[in-house]
Structure 1
Amino acid sequence: MTSIGRLTVKQAWARWDKSASTKNDALAVLSKTLEVAVDAGLITTNPARSLKLKRRTAKSPAGRALSREELDRFITFTPEGHYRRIIEALAYTGCLLGEIAALTASDVEFERGLIRVARSLSPNSNGKLVMGDTKSHREREVPILPQLRETLTAAMKDRKPHDLIFTGPRGGALDSGNLSRSIGLKKWRDQVRVFPPGAPRLHLHDLRHTAATLMCGAGVPTMVVKDILGHSSLAVTELYARANEAAVLAAGETFSLFLAKFDNVEAVAKS
């Protein structure tokens, strides 16, 4: 059996050109696999156990989120009808495009006010769209906002229970490239939001960042936001909550009022 040590794992980590979260997930799987090898007597120790590998500081995705006014502009610039319904579904659920593309009429329960997110229509290694699990490999439920009810009702018209709700105009599967071109995103996105030099320009996935940030800003508990969006961990969701502008401003006001009490006491003492 080929030997594997801590240095081997560290070298593989450094050479692998993937995101930090993907590399951490792979490390966790490797560690569990090596634990089995230890139990089987194939190796004496697990070189991946408790291995601390340097990772880049996570940038807050809330920096990509649109304000409520910018979101309204995004929706207004989108052509009315079929495509606008898709954009509204993305904005008001926070779902990934593949999850929206995989929704069927039977997944929408108006009586309960919930949408069941159980599948995703995403490209495979060959670029072909295939039906599979959600990114988290778990089903979840998303609330139907009042702002989304009319949109869903129109999208589901004449749909049978297992028909896809959101498709291309001719019934084909949705993908981000085709959707971006169909709504003319590149032509008007800078009129919605311009990001700092060096940052990517506005794209469809920013609607998910927007939903997460607005939910946190509305005071929805981060654990609930995590479950609605299907995040892999609470730490991911907290990246949105930490950047909550309203919460920061409220904290500043509270701190200011606290300091003002001492200012008043000192003013009385000097008089």
Structure 2
Amino acid sequence: MVARVEDRWLSKKKDANGKRIRKSTYGVGARWMALWDDTDGVARSKKFATQEQAQAHLDHVTADKMTGNYVNGRAADRFITDLLDEWLATTVHWKASTRNAAESDVRAHLRPYWGDCTAGAVRKRDVQAWVSGMKLAPRTVASIHGRFLSFLTWCVDEKILAQNPASKVNLPQGLSREHVFLSVKQVTALVKEMDELYRVLVWLLATCGLRIGEAAELRVKDLQLDRGRIRIERAVVFVKGGPPVVGPPKNGKARTVSIAPFMVGMLGDLIEHKRPNDLVFTTVRGCQIRPNNFKRRQFDDAVAAVNKAAKAARARGTKNPVTIPTSMWVHDLRHTAASLLVQSGASVKAVQRQLGHATASITLDTYAGLFDQDLDDLAVRLQRIVHPQLPAAA
């Protein structure tokens, strides 16, 4: 078919009076129709109120075909449940943990809600209604929406859709959780209440800044105790209902972290009779530690025990006994390590390397408040340079 604009109301033929003959569709619907062929040869059409609008659309279609931006209308008629499978098949570059999480979201949220829809039928208002109707935590909603957004971005890249209907959707706003930074006294009290099997683990998390998934996958061969170093090359993730997934650390890069001399001794005693490929930390049964189970069965109980002891101490007249926020997460031990590193005088770059952040800017964004002392020191140094005759603190 030659692309063209057609008058739906009047024929090119004329009657005896020289007037154009009315078609059977005269006065029904929009008058002008743009006609063209899809890239697979299937005829397509769209109606418009004016001839100018129809021609403009046809010009746009022609330009898109020439530049490779044309979206095949038949592709948009495909069901999302089938497209989701094709999308997942392209994600071979993802870490195993990311893939498992994506498959879980597809199975639990995307396929049940969107599976029977065609890609072209999805509208922004539909996505907004879906997001607004989720009775989940804001961060969870954002994660699920992000997964659907990625899928639809793939649809746009594959010329299935012209634009992404999930973009710029309003997401629920949750209160950002403040980091918890423990003092050395608080860490000591927490360790005291932990099962002896996990005491070294808590000290390691609180002073070296490992993620719990990195510590759970730590092997004897990763320890370089003679150098005071640990090599972090792997992390384990446990997906609900699935086996543990071992992959690279969060940012995809291995790193070497420094450990204090007192940790060298603790770790040396812990691995004394272990082989190179043995796990450094295990459960009572010798299994790999599951972070959720560790928090629920060990960590939370230890926090409660510290606070219970503090309550009893206050009853005996002790002032300001050591307590720990009940809202504390295991991950807050990593934040504690960052705090202790900054207090020790470590630079932003050193903290970044120790924690395994991709960039120093991430470290600053995450722990900006910890470096306030640097700003105070900067002000003092500037005062001494500009007005050396005046006191440093005016």
Tell whether the structures are fold-level matches, with TM greater than 0.5: yes
CA pair 33-180 structure 1, distance change in 2 beyond 3 A? closer
Q: Which amino acid aligns with 2:190?
A: F
- Aligned residue for 1:153? 268
User: Equivalents in 2 of 1:124, 1:147: separation in Å?
Assistant: 34
User: Equivalents in 2 of 1:11, 1:232: separation in Å?
Assistant: 35
Query: % of aligned pairs identical?
Result: 21
Task: Summarize the alignment of residues 1-271 of structure 1 with structure 2, pairs less than 5 Å apart.
Answer: 1=77, 2=118, 3-16=121-134, 17-20=136-139, 23=142, 27=146, 29-49=147-167, 51=168, 53=170, 55-56=173-174, 58-61=176-179, 64-78=180-194, 82-111=197-226, 113-126=228-241, 130-133=244-247, 136=250, 138-141=252-255, 142-174=257-289, 175-180=294-299, 184-189=302-307, 191=310, 192-195=322-325, 200-222=326-348, 224-230=350-356, 237-244=363-370, 247=373, 250=376, 254=380
User: Equivalents in 2 of 1:15, 1:232: separation in Å?
Assistant: 35
The answer to whether the 8 Å contact 2:190/2:303 transfers is no
The answer to whether the 8 Å contact 2:251/2:358 transfers is no
CA pair 24-256 structure 1, distance change in 2 beyond 3 A? farther
CA pair 137-243 structure 1, distance change in 2 beyond 3 A? closer
SS in 1 for 2:287: coil
Shift of 1:25: 8.0
Q: Which amino acid aligns with 1:44?
A: A
CA pair 178-58 structure 1, distance change in 2 beyond 3 A? closer
Shift of 1:188: 1.5
Provide TM-score, normalisation by structure 2: 0.52
User: Equivalents in 1 of 2:202, 2:327: separation in Å?
Assistant: 17
The answer to whether the 8 Å contact 1:193/1:202 transfers is no
CA pair 212-106 structure 1, distance change in 2 beyond 3 A? same
SS in 1 for 2:369: coil
The answer to whether the 8 Å contact 1:105/1:156 transfers is yes
SS in 1 for 2:330: coil
User: Equivalents in 2 of 1:15, 1:234: separation in Å?
Assistant: 38
CA pair 176-139 structure 1, distance change in 2 beyond 3 A? farther
The answer to whether the 8 Å contact 1:222/1:241 transfers is no
Q: Which amino acid aligns with 2:355?
A: L
Q: Alpha-carbon deviations, 1:89-116, whole Å to 9, x = none?
A: 2212222333212211111123554323
Shift of 1:48: 3.9
Q: Which amino acid aligns with 1:106?
A: K
The answer to whether the 8 Å contact 1:90/1:97 transfers is yes
Shift of 1:66: 0.7
Shift of 1:171: 1.9
Shift of 1:158: 1.3
The answer to whether the 8 Å contact 1:212/1:240 transfers is no
Q: Which amino acid aligns with 2:187?
A: L
Q: Which amino acid aligns with 1:178?
A: R
The structure richer in strand per residue is 2
- Where structure 2 has 5 or more consecutive residues not aligned to the other structure, the ranges are 1-76, 78-117, 311-321
User: Equivalents in 1 of 2:375, 2:251: separation in Å?
Assistant: 37
The answer to whether the 8 Å contact 2:124/2:169 transfers is no
Q: Which structure would you say has the larger RCO, counting Cα contacts within 8 Å and 6 or more residues apart?
A: 1
Paired residues in the alignment total 253
The answer to which of 2-11 and 17-26 deviates more is: 17-26
User: Equivalents in 2 of 1:173, 1:46: separation in Å?
Assistant: 42
Provide TM-score, normalisation by structure 1: 0.71
The answer to whether the 8 Å contact 1:129/1:173 transfers is no
Q: Which amino acid aligns with 2:369?
A: A
The answer to whether the 8 Å contact 1:108/1:114 transfers is yes
